[in-house]
Amino acid sequence: MSLDNPGNKNSISVFQLRELRQAGAPHVLLDVREADELAICAIENAVHIPMAEVPQRLGELPADTPLVVMCHHGMRSLRVVNYLRGNGFNNAVNLDGGIDAWAAQIEPAVGRY
């Protein structure tokens, strides 16, 4: 699975993310949840930037590597993806279902809330 050129694709499934991670494919997983949510559960090696801080921290994000954005269920992260794409990050895609779908379908040990 590759996200080298996501084109107009705005989202990926948790199964596609699992394929990326298992293959060791270059990507950045951006978690835009709040710190109290992150304390409950997280996906290993995700970069944490709360949604409200994304505009001030754009310089920390890659523009040339697939950028998978996630939150709890996928709504906030979709807003962030739309913002990022509007600011030149055409490499940004939303994780459908967020960490809740990841925990339910991929990695139950992550936990749910």
Q: What is the CATH number of the domain that holds 65?
A: 3.40.250.10
User: From the CB of residue 107, how many other CB atoms can be counted at a distance below 10 Å?
Assistant: 15
* 41 assigned to active site: no
Average pLDDT over residues 21-29: 97
Binning pLDDT at 50, 70 and 90, where does residue 4 land?
A: very low
For residues 88 and 42, what is the distance between their CA atoms, to the nearest angstrom? Answer: 27
113 Cβ contact partners less than 8 Å away, ≥ 6 residues apart: 37, 40, 41, 72
- Tens of pLDDT, residue by residue over 33-90, are 999 999 999 999 999 999 999 999 999 999 999 999 999 999 999 999 999 999 999 9
Question: Which one, of 18, 27, 31, lies nearest residue 77 by Cα?
Answer: 31
Residue 39 lies in a domain: yes
**Domain tally, the chain:** 1
Asked whether residue 30 carries a pLDDT value surpassing 70, the answer given is: yes
The parent domain of residue 103 ranges over: 26-110
Does any domain span residue 20?
A: no
Q: How far apart are CA 63 and CA 101, in angstroms?
A: 26
The count of other CB atoms within 10 Å of the CB of residue 74 is 21
Query: Is pLDDT above 70 for 1?
Result: no
Selected residue with higher pLDDT from 15 and 2: 15
Please identify which of the residues 3, 12, 71, 95 carries the catalytic annotation.
71
pTM above 0.85, yes or no: yes
Q: Look at residue 29 and give its three-state secondary structure.
A: strand
Band (pLDDT 50/70/90 cuts) for residue 9 is confident
> Residue 21 falls within a domain, yes or no?
no
Q: Is residue 6 part of a domain?
A: no
- Asked if pLDDT for residue 31 goes beyond 80, the answer is yes
